[in-house]
Copies of this chain bind each other. A is one copy, B any other.
Amino acid sequence: MSLLVVGSVALDSVYTPFGETADALGGSAVYFSVAASRLHPVQVVGVVGDDYPMQELTRLAPLGIDWGGVERAPGESFRWKGKYSYDLQSRETLETRLGVFADFRPRLPAGAEAAEYIFLGNIDPELQLGVLEQVKAPKLVACDTMNYWIQSKREALLALLARVDLLMVNDAEAREFSGDWNIHRAGRWLLKQGPSRVVIKQGEYGALLIEDGQTFAVPAYPLEEVFDPTGAGDAFAGGFMGYMAQRGATSTDAMRRAMVYGSTMGSFAVSGFTVKGFDGVTAADVAERVERFVALTHIPAAGPLT
């Protein structure tokens, strides 16, 4: 099943209490595809400037990521600079330079309009809608967004929600969008806007899959060392959608397992600076960590207990 992601391909400068990095590979489409490619081939649509280190992209994951849909435009690549607090619980954006991203109008390359699994990374909801106009017969469309669009493009975002199957946001975004501090009511409000499922990411606490009449909760993997939370949400989305595409599935049961693959990929993402958390991570490593999630959440039956 073909998997497509549209999002940012950026250069990140990140400061954490444990170190810093400048102009490293980043952006939602990069984190998504590095994670997804551990499970299923993925095609990327995005834009970079003529200063982007393309050879690093291709070196990043020699197999499974098709960067052919990443347009090269004259000018500077999208750059983000951020600094995390001592406990990594909050971050401050120091600088955002859109560069060529400011004029990004996603155009699907030949063949991509047939994509069945589609992730619309966090970009202008009008552009996300524009991508949906170009795809022909999607099986599962998921999208992300952020506070900036919730505030500035609410109508376009609501139009988008009416057309996607799955919204993936963090808890602060769910609360802001719905205007409700109770996360379960917020999830129900979001479902009413269109998507049949809502994933709410809760950082170190895990994530919820909310749908009509039922909720599924998965904890975060218990990590004693967290180096850089950047990209964890996009890696989660990559693990989730990579698993769904691999299985060719759309059911709740498949999505529950996809939540575990998402959490697994999020845990790799935060274990190293930028995308380096995925260095050397094999399919076997992923499978092993998925099994650890099963053990982490296993409730024994009520039979004889000593």
- Which of A's residues lie within 8 Å of B, judged by CB? 86-87, 89, 181-185, 188, 202, 204-206, 208, 214-219, 222-226, 247, 249-251, 253-254, 256-257, 260, 293-300, 302, 305-306
Bound-state CA distance A302–B249 (Å) is: 12
Bound-state CA distance A131–B284 (Å) is: 51
Bound-state CA distance A89–B306 (Å) is: 37
Contact of A305 among B218, B257, B302 (CB under 8 A): B257
Chain B, residue nearest A223 (CB): B184
Hey, which chain B residues are within 8 Å of A260, CB to CB?
A: 299
Contact of A247 among B214, B253, B305 (CB under 8 A): B305
Q: Is the CB of B224 within 8 A of A217?
A: no
Tell me whether A254 and B305 are in contact in the complex, defined as CB-CB below 8 angstroms, given that A217-B219, A296-B215 are known contacts. yes
Hey, which chain B residues are within 8 Å of A253, CB to CB?
A: 300, 305-306
Bound-state CA distance A184–B216 (Å) is: 23
Q: Is the CB of B219 within 8 A of A206?
A: yes
Q: Is the CB of A222 within 8 A of B184?
A: yes
